[in-house]
Each structure stands twice: as structure tokens, then as C-alpha cells.
Amino acid sequence: MTGSIPLAVFEGAAIFDGDRLHATSALVVEDGRVVGIVPTDEAPRGERVLLAGGTLAPGFIDLQVNGGGGILLNDAPTLEGIRTICAAHARLGTLGLLPTLITDTAQVTGAAIEAGLAAARDRVPGFLGLHLEGPHLDPRRKGAHDPDLIRPMTAADLARLCDAARRLPALLVTVAPEAADPQQIAALAAAGAIVSLGHSDASAAAAAASFAAGARLVTHLFNAMSQLGSREPGLVGAALDAAGVRAGLIADGVHVAPLTMRVALAAKAGADPVFLVTDAMAVAGTDATSFELNGRTIHRRDGRLTLADGTLAGADIDMPGALRVLTRDVGLTLPQALRLATLAPALALGQAGLGRLAPGSAADLVHLDADLALTGVWRGGLPGVRFSGQ
């Protein structure tokens, strides 16, 4: 995709700017950047992009993407693997993401880091950095991770991660307090890594110590972690209570019940403390019915991805699907739901300039119809994916 549109005016849809909806307005784009949102009758002359109702919004941002387009990052920890995953998710409306490596060997982890550095140098569209989910987790809360590869963090591991954090655009590292102590978490945070707690059976006190050391996110809240109990609040309770701690949420209606999501969103209301993740796997953007993970077959059926024993292994949902769950089943307004897929993950990543349509921001756009089906995608104001009716 080359070139740019000198001046384009998007009109005919409500416009979500990352914070609120604008009715009877037009989005003005020049040279791939947003100029502003103006009343339709005040829009300057330029190439018109006419939208048939629905909503125009910033491209989605996803901080947990294990794969897509038929591959997992674990199986293709290469520049081309990252390029394939980013391209697959662009077709689903996600224009900024963290390819995610789940628990693997030190060799594969090293290869993924090198691939991420190459992707940054090549400016792969959509690549925002890496998410390393493991291997420093608690095997008691392994989920679909291979327990034989889970291990405590060593000094060599810490040095490698700190070096990667300094060199990558962003590095998100999911660890369990049982496998990474507060000193290691503090060192990671000091090096620039975003530390997230997950796959952990930690007590609330242990989680609080990790937050105090510098951890500031929680990976897929409620899943693969100690739950909120009457006498022991667990990692869930600590996450819901801690000020300044943000949490990823898989809103497919399978990983977390709508009522539970409603309670969590109420507990964490304000300052964008919850953001959507898809936890997407290799089948994202394909019609495949199964794939392999660490030599085990993952089955895709009825909106679920599971091992043979029924253990969930990632999620089978895209961002528009999650928005439908949030608005239909959880009861969020459309602006509230859209914020969780755009500005909220950008803020969790520490990138306040992403996930919004403001003067100077990249014109990375998605269009959703009245049923929240994706009907168009633009990167830098240029059409990346066009759908029927556009």
C-alpha cells in the first residue's frame, strides 16, 4: 500500500474519537493524519468517503494476540511470522497489536525477541511490540501452557528480558509472583518492560507486593488465576482493588460470564482500568477447525478453542464480536465498549497518542455497521480492507 490521500472527508457515520461519539460530523484526514472532526456542513472540500450509517472509530488495539492467519508466533517466531499475524488481524479491524509468545523454550523466546526487533526495524504495519506470556508462571494455573516448559525466572532470563525491553518499541511480560520475585519485577519495570501478573495462584498479599514492585497489568482477568474468595481475595481481588492496575479482559462470553464482567467493570470503573484482549490463536482470520499447540491438538467448535480435555486454549473471537458481547450481554453503551478496544489498551501500553481520532493522530480507522459488523478498514487514511457496501 503506497501513496497517500492529500485530503479526504469521511462522512455518513457517527464518529467515535476514542472517548465519545460525534453525530452529524465528518472526519477530515490529510496525508494519513487526522485533521479534525467537524460538523458535516462545515467540512472542507476533498475526496468524499461516504459511509452508510454505523460508526467510524479508531482501529482496534490488542495486547494479546498469540497468532492469526494460520500460524502461531510460537511456531513462526520470525519476521515473516509477525508480518503474517499483523496482516491477518488488520483484516479483522485490529491495526495495532502485540504478537504474543506463550510459554516456550529459551531458544524460541530468543528467536521471538529477535523477530520483534526485526519487525520494529522494518516498521511492520500494526506491530507495536511483543508480549511474552510465560514461561515464568505457576504450573498450578498453567491453563493451556505446557507445564514442562514453565520455570522460575533466572538471572540470565532477567538480563535477556531487560535488554529486550530497552530495545523493543514495547515489551509486555506476563509473570506469576511465584516465579518472579519483587526484585526481578522491579528490575524489569526499571528497564521499561510492562509487567503483567497472570497464570498465578498468588495470594492477594503476594499480588500486592508485585504491584508495589512495578507490575501494573493483569493478564486475562479471572482466567488462570486465584479467584476472589471470602477469606482470601486472591489475584482477582487484588487486581480489582489496586489503584492504577489495569486488566485485560476476554469478552467472548465463554472465558468470563457477562455478569462477572459487569461486576469487574463496576469495581474498576474510571481511568480506563479494563481493556479488551482477544487472546487470538492461529485460526483467527481463517476457517480452520483445529491447530497444534506444543504437540497437542486444539479444537475449534461452538465459539471455543479447547484441548481434548476441555481446557480453554485461547479464544475464538475478534474485536467486533467482543463489542457485540459487551453491548448486548453486559449492558455497556457503544462508546463505553469501543473505548475498551481502542483508547483503553493504548493507555495500558503507555501510548496515549494511539486509539483515538484527534488532530495529528494516525488515520487508522474501522467502520462498523449498526449490528457492529466490520465493513471497512483504513490505515493512514488509505483503504486496507474494503467490504461489500463500501
Under the banding of pLDDT at 50, 70 and 90, the label for residue 259 is very high
Cell of 289: 477447525
Tens of pLDDT, residues 18-49 = 999 999 999 999 999 999 999 999 999 889 99
Strand arrangement, sheet containing 33-39: 33-39, 25-30, 8-11, 47-50
Question: What pLDDT score does 386 carry?
Answer: 46
Residue 1's pLDDT band, with cuts at 50, 70 and 90, is: very low
Asked if 132 and 103 touch (Cβ cutoff 8 Å), the reply is no
Grid coordinates belonging to 56: 467510524
243 and 162 in contact (C-beta within 8 Å)? no
> What is the DSSP track for 160-210?
HHHHHHHHSS-EEEEE-TTTS-HHHHHHHHHHT-EEEE-SB---HHHHHHH
Averaged confidence pLDDT in the chain: 94
Per-domain boundaries in the chain: 8-58+356-386, 60-348
Residue 276 has pLDDT above 90, yes or no: yes
Q: Looking at the domain 8-58+356-386, which fold is it?
A: Urease, subunit C; domain 1 (2.30.40)
Which residues participate in catalysis according to the annotation? Answer: 279
Q: Name the CATH architecture for the domain at 60-348.
A: Alpha-Beta Barrel (3.20)
Average pLDDT over every residue of 327-333? 97
Of 134, 133, 180, nearest in space to 155 by CA: 180
- Using CA atoms, how far apart are residues 235 and 49, in angstroms rounded to an integer? 47
Say how far apart CA 223 and CA 236 lie, in whole Å: 9
Q: C-alpha grid cell for residue 362? A: 494516525
> Judging by beta carbons within 10 Å of its beta carbon (0-12, 13-18, 19+), is residue 262 exposed, middle or buried?
middle
